[in-house]
């Protein structure tokens, strides 16, 4: 049995579906009650209360550990102790590219602690370090629906954003196949794409043009501070505005694990066009 935390969001949802489609017995975990399909069991548990995972992990072979935000307020060692005590033999952690490209970034200190704990805890481990998600474009859904417009900073700075469905497929491979043990994968899309190009791709998917308006850094910062902690806002703006060469680079890892190229942002926009209509 495979347990997936964060099972109701961008990566967890397609991961649960992919595992169930492959015939695996899956338990989907989140704090709130959720509907599942294909006979998947859903259990409520809170990662902030590690013991709440003990009954969920009973009988599990593998765990996909996906924490919300940067894992603030969670105790990685206590969580991994619960997994080990339950007999979990394989842990796949969803981390972030930034833990590798900016090892001293305060915004990612908790995720780095998760990486350290997973590597030291005993079960086989794989660490996934995705770059920015294509699904971050959902934050433009309301302005595209109401005004056919996207406002974002750094309009022409391109990064190889990754489709959460590709992260989920790599995760499924790592959970099911021991050959990925001890590996750290950096997950990106197949080509850098700027915010202006993303707006155009959404317009193409809708068959109706979407205008792009560039925000200043200060405008973007004050908007982001309404829903993100300050270190995360500043860390995110640095990556979006001044990416390191490693952050702008296309990683070969999705293609190496899946045997096909990574999905483009344009493909993500077509699959998710309904959210913008």
Ligand X SMILES: NC(=O)c1ccc[n+]([C@@H]2O[C@H](COP(=O)([O-])OP(=O)(O)OC[C@H]3O[C@@H](n4cnc5c(N)ncnc54)[C@H](OP(=O)(O)O)[C@@H]3O)[C@@H](O)[C@H]2O)c1
Nearer to ligand X, 109 or 148 (CB): 109
Cα angle 267, 215, 265 (rounded to 5 degrees) comes to: 10
Count, residues in the chain: 277
- Tell me how far, at minimum, the Cβ of 208 lies from ligand X, in Å: 26
Spell out, one character per residue from 130 to 169, where the chain touches ligand X: x when CB under 6 A holds, - when not. x-xx--x---------------------------------
Tokens of 261: 């190229």
Of residues 90-109, those binding ligand X (CB under 6 A): 94, 96
Site residues for ligand X, 14-53, by CB under 6 A, read 30-32, 46-48
CA–CA dist 6, 254 (Å, integer) = 21
Q: Is residue 68 within the footprint of ligand X (CB under 6 A)? A: yes
Q: Is 260 exposed, middle or buried (0-12, 13-18, 19+ CB in 10 A)?
A: exposed
Among 5-13, 75-83, 116-124, 152-160, the segment contacting ligand X (CB under 6 A): 5-13
Q: What's the rounded Cα separation, in Å, for the pair 57 and 82?
A: 8
Helices (H) and strands (E) in the chain, counts: 13, 9
Taking a C-beta distance cutoff of 8 angstroms, is the pair 138, 161 a contact? no
Q: Per CB under 6 A, which region of 4-12, 76-84, 238-246, 267-275 contacts ligand X? A: 4-12
Contact residue for ligand X among 3, 11, 92, 93 (CB under 6 A) = 11
Shortest distance in whole angstroms from residue 45 CB to ligand X: 6
Size of residue set near ligand X by CB under 6 A: 25
Ramachandran region of residue 179, left (φ > 0), alpha (ψ -120 to 50) or beta? Answer: alpha
Give the nearest distance from C-beta 167 to ligand X in angstroms: 8
Cα(246)–Cα(244) distance, integer angstroms: 5
**Residues near ligand X, by CB under 6 A:** 5-12, 30-32, 46-48, 66-70, 94, 96, 130, 132-133, 136
């Amino acid at each position: 049995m495979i347990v997936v935390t964060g099972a109701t969001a961008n990566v967890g949802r397609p991961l649960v579906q992919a595992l169930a489609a492959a015939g695996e017995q899956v338990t989907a975990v989140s704090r709130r009650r959720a509907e599942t399909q294909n006979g998947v069991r859903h259990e409520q548990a809170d990662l902030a209360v590690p013991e709440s995972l003990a009954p969920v992990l009973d009988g599990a072979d593998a765990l996909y550990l996906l924490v919300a935000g940067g894992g603030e307020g969670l105790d990685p060692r206590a969580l991994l102790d619960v997994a080990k005590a339950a007999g979990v033999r394989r842990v796949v952690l969803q981390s972030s590219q930034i833990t590798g490209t900016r090892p001293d970034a305060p915004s990612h200190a908790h995720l780095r602690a998760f990486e350290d704990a997973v590597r030291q805890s005993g079960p086989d481990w794989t660490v996934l370090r995705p770059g920015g998600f294509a699904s971050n474009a959902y934050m433009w859904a309301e302005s595209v629906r109401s005004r056919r417009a996207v406002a974002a900073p750094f309009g022409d700075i391109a990064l190889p954003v990754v489709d959460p469905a590709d992260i989920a497929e790599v995760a499924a491979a790592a959970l099911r196949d021991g050959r990925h043990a001890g590996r750290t994968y950096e997950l990106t899309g197949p080509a850098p794409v700027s915010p202006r190009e993303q707006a155009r791709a959404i317009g193409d998917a809708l068959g109706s043009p979407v205008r792009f308006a560039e925000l200043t850094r200060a405008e973007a910062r004050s908007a982001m501070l309404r829903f993100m902690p300050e270190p995360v806002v500043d860390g995110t703006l640095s990556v979006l505005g001044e990416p390191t060469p490693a952050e702008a680079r296309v990683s070969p890892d999705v293609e190496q694990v899946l045997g096909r190229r990574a999905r483009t942002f344009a493909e993500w926009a077509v699959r998710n066009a309904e959210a913008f209509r």
